[in-house]
Amino acid sequence: MAKLKVRQVAEAKGKTISDLHFDTRLSLATVRRYWYGTSDGKEAGTEKFVQVDLDKLGAIAKALGVKVVDLIEEDWITRSMARSGQLTIERVNQTQTNAPDSIGV
């Protein structure tokens, strides 16, 4: 399960949930799910958000002026790439100092 950093990135850029709702034209419920990382879109939601739509995450990234990969926890990216065989031991060492630009899907 990916851990999203939408809220952290947005707040660092001075954006609110309402700003993202307006800028992305996604429903407020959708923006809240990505913001809080919960399936019900509530801050104290009990179920973590497990299915990420890359088109929606891309719209959020565009509104924030960042890459999609900037909205995903780096440790999760490294673990996922290692499991899929896309990341070798040599690249793990490089990834610790340089975040990858994209995720092979």
Determine phi and psi for 38, rounding to 5 degrees: -125, 150
Which of 3-12, 69-78, 90-99 is predicted most confidently? 3-12
Structural domain harbouring 80: 74-105
Residue 1, in any domain of the structure: no
Q: Is the same domain home to 29 and 61?
A: yes
64 in the same domain as 17: yes
Cα–Cα distances (Å) from 67 to 45, 54, 83, in that order, read 26, 11, 23
Q: Does residue 89 lie within any of the structural domains?
A: yes
On whether the pTM is more than 0.95, the answer is no
Instruction: Read off the pLDDT of each residue in 72-90 and give the average, rounded to a whole number.
Output: 59
Encode pLDDT of 1-32 as tens digits: 568 899 999 999 999 999 999 999 999 999 99
